[in-house]
Amino acid sequence: MELPKLILASGSPRRSEILGFVGWEFEKQVADVDETPIKGETAEIYVERLAIEKANAVAETCGNSLVLGADTTVVVEGRIIGKPENPLEARSMIAGLSGRWHDVITGVALVSITDSETRCVSGIQRTGVRFSELTEAEIDYLVEYGEPMDKAGGYAVQAQAALFIEEIRGDYWNVVGLPVSLVYRLLEKIA
User: pLDDT exceeding 70 applies to what percent of the chain?
Assistant: 100
User: Is pLDDT above 90 for 94?
Assistant: yes
Res. 146 pLDDT band, cuts 50 70 90 = confident
Q: What is the pTM of this model?
A: 0.93
Helix (H), strand (E) counts: the chain? 6, 7
* Ordered domains of the chain (ranges, CATH): 6-190 (3.90.950.10)
Which residue out of 71, 115, 150, 171 is catalytically annotated? 71
Per-residue b or e along 122-132, where b marks 16 or more CB atoms closer than 10 Å to that residue's CB: bbbbbbebebe
**Whether 171 is catalytic:** no
In sequence order, which residues have a C-beta less than 8 Å from that of residue 131 and are 6 or more positions away?
97, 98, 99, 100, 102, 161, 164, 165, 166
What is the separation of C-alpha 35 from the centre of its chain, rounded to a whole number of angstroms?
13
Contact 124, 106 (CB under 8 A): yes
